[in-house]
Amino acid sequence: MYLQDGSDELGCGNQDDESTTSRVTIAPPVSHCELDQWRCDDGTCIAAHAVCDGFPDCPTNQDDEKNCHDIAGGGCPQNTTRCGESRACVLQSKWCDKSYDCPNKADEKECPIDSTQMKCNSGNFACNDGVCLPLFKKCDGKNDCLNYEDENQEECRNHETVYQAQGIAVSHIDSTWFEVEWFLPKFPSSKKLKFITEVCEVESRHCWNGTEVAATSYKVESDEAAHHVISPYKMYTVTVYAKDGQKVFPPAFYINVTTTEAESSAPYGLEVRQNTTEDLIISWKKPHTPNGKISVYKVYFSPPTPPATIESDKETLIISNKQSDPVFLPGINYTFWVTAENGFGEGMSSELKSHVYNGEVALIKGFKLEGT
């Protein structure tokens, strides 16, 4: 078919004169726009701030200027809601549908969360806004959730009271034991509740239950027969289960407890040697059980009497022979030992190591004599 306006031949090219025609490629509409853009019905992306600005920007249907908030006209069209500060209006059915329709994305903000998908622990329940609250707050006559769904009359009609320890805290603590206490709101005197303390060492993830008690406090200490050990400077996670007869209620609260520091065991593997420059090199290994944070090592040597000491923040010390008094003399047998110090104090001494200095006179800088 031949069209009189020649449009059927546009873009086909002309072997005799390439300049008389142009080759045109039409790009497919964009299906996804950037975060700061809005998508027109034909797929074109325009700036989000251009929607409902009074100037059409979408090339086909000018849909960026439709469904706009108009004060004179009574606001948004029927069945639509204004997008916050934007003048754009979006169908109410499109709000909170997990797809952005407002240019400022207001339609997907502050949407209710499906509480069944929330990951609260077993001792808590989820409000619609995602906040986790203790089970004892549900149906307690007080509105705790933002939208009061914790006091829903239908759900509360057959609700069973939940008992949970509250205010768990450490009352006393030492390096090998600690005591925790808690409280419960008033409950019927007919209820003879018992409590079980659960302890977990954080590092090893070893957990165990304490003895069932009626009191609202419990002393946690080692039970070597059961292989439950409370060690110095260790972190433990503690919670308390409430028990009503045979029914055990899941806990709502957990606390972390770190025991105090204690005397460090001895550094080990002590070595003393001289290198080619005749510097004295002293090295050792960190204690197996420092029982705290080591702040400094103390290196002792004798003679003199009382022994001299030099501090080091590492597991090695190099003593140069080019410094000031006192002196290491050739042929003299010196005895060395090391201790580690933490927040508790100075720990146990390492094994003794003897060394006969066989080089030139070695001079020590920064030493001090014990007792002076």
What string of pLDDT tens digits covers the 372 residues of the chain? 334 444 444 444 444 443 333 344 333 444 467 767 888 888 888 888 888 888 888 988 888 888 888 766 668 888 888 888 888 888 888 888 777 788 888 887 777 655 555 578 899 999 887 889 999 999 999 999 988 889 998 889 989 999 999 999 999 999 999 999 999 887 777 888 999 999 999 999 999 999 999 999 999 999 888 889 999 999 999 999 999 999 999 999 999 999 999 999 999 999 999 876 678 899 999 999 999 999 999 999 999 899 999 999 999 999 876 654 556 888 889 999 999 999 999 999 999 999 998 765 554 544 555 544
Q: Which two tokens stand for residue 203?
A: 């590092």
Is there a contact between 316 and 282 (Cβ–Cβ < 8 Å)?
yes
132: region left, alpha or beta (phi > 0 left; psi from -120 to 50 alpha): beta
- Strands 316-319, 346-349: parallel, antiparallel or unpaired by DSSP? unpaired
d(CA 33, CA 290): 59
Measured distance CA(184)–CA(167) in Å, rounded: 8
pLDDT at 368: 53
- Written as six digits, the tokens of 264 are 């460090």
pLDDT of residue 9: 44
Task: Tell me phi and psi for residue 7, to 5 degrees.
Answer: -65, -20
- What one-character-per-residue DSSP string does 165-229 give? -EEEEEEEE-SSEEEEEEE-----TT---EEEEEEEETTT--EEE---BSSSEEEEE-BGGGTB-
The CA-based angle 86-87-88, given to 5 degrees, is 90
Is 268-369 in CATH node 1.10.260.40? Answer: no
Same fold flag, 115-156 and 168-258: no
Contact 146, 128 (CB under 8 A): yes
Residue 175: Cβ within 10 Å count: 18
End-to-end CA distance of the chain: 116
What pLDDT, on a 0 to 100 scale, did the predictor assign at position 113? 59
Q: State residue 97's pLDDT score.
A: 78
> Which tokens go with 244?
């009503």
Give whole-number Cα distances, 270 to 12, 282, 285, 328, 355, in Å.
Answer: 91, 7, 7, 19, 12
Look at domain 115-156 and name its CATH class. few secondary structures
The reported pLDDT for the residue numbered 331 is 86
pLDDT of residue 229: 93
134: which 2 tokens?
A: 């203790």
User: Residue 156: enclosing H or E segment and its boundaries?
Assistant: helix 153-156
Of 306, 305, 311, nearest to 282 by C-alpha is: 311
Q: What is the DSSP letter of 111?
A: P
Which residues are paired to 177 by β-bridges?
221
For residues 44 and 60, give the distance between their C-alpha atoms in angstroms, rounded to a whole number.
9
> Are 267 and 287 a contacting pair, CB within 8 Å?
yes
| Domain positions in the chain | 34-110, 115-156, 168-258, 268-369
Query: What's the confidence (pLDDT) of residue 93?
Result: 86
Q: Write out the E strands in 101-176.
A: 124-126, 132-134, 166-173
Distance of CA 5 to the CA centre of its chain: 71
Which CATH number is 168-258 given? 2.60.40.10
What whole-number distance in Å separates Cα of residue 111 and Cα of residue 171? Answer: 43
For residue 327, what pLDDT is reported? Answer: 65
CA distances from 223 to 64, 171, 208, 330 (A): 73, 20, 10, 55
Residue 44: count of CB within 10 angstroms of its CB = 18
